[in-house]
Amino acid sequence: MSKLALVALGGNALLREKQAGTIDEQEQNTTDTLENLVFLLREGYNLVITHGNGPQVGNILLRNDAGETNYGIPQMPLDICVADSQGGIGYMVQRMLLNVLNRHNIQRNIVTLVTMVEVSKDDKAFTDPVKRVGKIYTREQADDLARTKGWKFGKEQRVKDGWRRVVPSPLPVKILNENVIQATAMSGTIVIAAGGGGIPVYYDENGDVRPAEAVIDKDLAGSLLAARIKADEFYILTDVPYVFINYNQPDQQPVEFLNYADTVKYLEQGMFGEGSMAPKIRACLQFIEKGGSKSVITDAFKLSDKKFGTKITMEYED
């Protein structure tokens, strides 16, 4: 039977640092990344692809704001913005991948699924929103939006003085239509799903699906999806070829192989930055905990070169 791999394309796989974000740049980055997936198809893998949406959904929110301010167009809620990003990015990935496969004479169907992800309405994240989204506002603008829209704001110092909206980032509980994703992928069709961590939803007291004004960590959602569809391997593509121990220190060193216990130990020792590598490490550990055989973190442009990448397994590979 064919192996099933889930490949999570990080934001850097679609848009590189210091780029303007034009569609030409994003399409070229996506194409260069997808070229590295060809070897998995050559080796008989079935594929599910997820992707980040940080820059793109941020731009959608800016257009939201500009449309309301300049033309009186009502803003759309965050769940609609995430759905928009899933459709747009999914289309781009699907089209670029069709062209890559055409150049390699590979015949595969590809489908993009707008994906909802269940979260718990009782998740503590809803009482402590920390994920910054959208533009930077003045104090006066933030106060007005907090009063009229109920938005919450956190102080943003890294770019310039100002205030940015903060929203909850609850844990993913279940991927809606996960059985459809699994069956479709195992039939040989490449599935693009759960983009941007998925559209966060919950069930109300009547069993109806309701949107949650929140965002879900894309790597945790990808890890959960990989486990739920019984993927054999989980790949996170980012902008570094390895995970580093003592990163940015004089004694930093890359690690190619890690077992579960050592990875947990390094995580607890604070070896991985909370704003960068730690969430990816947790996603990889979650996949292994739930029965996955191997997680890999590597550069988006180096996946096909197997000497790169940090491989995390339950025990060290022979």
* Residues designated as active site: 11-12, 131, 218, 280
78 touches 133 (CB < 8 A): yes
Give the β-pairing of 310-313 and 243-245: unpaired
Record the tokens describing residue 128, joined without a space.
């402590």
44: left (phi over 0), alpha (psi -120 to 50) or beta: left
296 touches 234 (CB < 8 A): yes
Give SS3 for 46.
strand
The closest of 29, 31, 40 to 7, measured between CA atoms, is 40
As beta bridge partners, residue 253 has 245
Rounded Cα distance between 283 and 177, Å, is 21
Record the tokens describing residue 51, joined without a space.
């992707």
33 touches 237 (CB < 8 A): yes
Rounded Cα distance between 244 and 127, Å, is 34
As beta bridge partners, residue 117 has 175, 200
Phi, psi at residue 28, to the nearest 5°?
A: -70, -45
The closest of 170, 190, 68 to 125, measured between CA atoms, is 170
Which residues are CB-neighbours of 208 under 8 A, at least 6 positions away?
none
Work out the number of other CB atoms within 10 angstroms of the CB of residue 19.
15
Rounded Cα distance between 241 and 258, Å, is 15
Rounded Cα distance between 298 and 311, Å, is 9
